[in-house]
Amino acid sequence: MVASVPAWSATVINLASTDYPPYFSPSLPGDGVVGAITRAALAKHGYTLQLHYRPWARLMSEVEGGHFDGVMAVWYSPERAGYLLFSQPVANTVIGFYQRKDKPLNVQSLASLKPYLVGTVRGYKNPDAFDAARLDTEQANDDLSNLRKLAVGRLDLVLIDKALAHQLLPQLPGNMAARIHWQNPPVAVMPLHVGFFRGMTGAVKLNSDFNDGLAQLESSGELEKIFKRFHFAQ
C-alpha cells in the first residue's frame, strides 16, 4: 500500500503490530488487552481488524511507508504525527527503571543519574523528561536484551514499561530475574494510541469512527469488562 490509496478493504483494517505483552502479542488470547479493545472499537462501526506482527526494528518504517492502514499501538511523538493520525488513548503504560538489587541507585532525580549507563530500545519514544535529562544511554533492539544486559552488569539501569518487564522476567535464563527489580517512582505514565496512516484515503473518518467506538465501549461498561478480563488495572 502506498500514500493516497484506499485501505485494503472497505471493512478490513490492516494494522501492523509487534510483540509487546501484556498489551498486545500474538501469544495472548485476543492479541492482548489492547488488541481486544482495538478490535471491539472498530467493530462498533463494522470494521474487522487484521493484525500483522513485525519486529519492532522494521515496523515503523513499514507503517510510514504506507504498507499498512496503521499501527497498534504506539506512544505519541511529533515526528510520528507527521504520518499518523492518533486515536484517543487506548491504555496507559507506566515507564520507569529496572535496576540491579546489588547496586541500588537513587532515581528520585533524573539529573542524579548522569554518571550511569541506561539501556533504551532503538526507535522507542522515551518520556520527554528522560530525553531532557540527556543521560548516557545504550540502545538495544528489544527490551529483553536490555534486561539481560542489566542482570549481568553491562547496564546500570533499564528504561522500560513496568507491566512489560513483569512479562519478560520469566524469559531470563538462570537466576537473572532475581538480580533485578523495579524502582519507584516511575518516570512517566504514557498513553498508547492506535495510529492510522495519514496517506490512506478515509483516514480521518476511520480515526473518528474508532474514537467513537472507543467512547461507546467506555459508556457501555464494555471497556471496563475487557480490562477486568485481562486482569489489567488502569
Candidates 3.40.190.10, 3.30.479.10, 2.30.110.10, 3.20.20.70; CATH matching 5-91+190-229: 3.40.190.10
CATH fold of 93-189, please? Answer: D-Maltodextrin-Binding Protein; domain 2 (3.40.190)
Domain ranges (residues) in the chain: 5-91+190-229, 93-189
Supply the pTM of this predicted model: 0.87
From the number of C-beta atoms within 10 Å of its C-beta (0-12, 13-18, 19+), residue 137 rates as middle
- H or E element, residue 128: helix 128-133
Residue 10: predicted pLDDT: 53
Residue 5: predicted pLDDT: 42
For the cut 90, the answer to whether the pLDDT of residue 230 exceeds it is: yes
Nearest residue to 31 via CA among 143, 22, 154: 22
pLDDT band at 57 (very low <50, low <70, confident <90, very high): confident
Q: How far apart are CA 162 and CA 169, in angstroms?
A: 11
Q: How far apart are CA 156 and CA 147, in angstroms?
A: 10
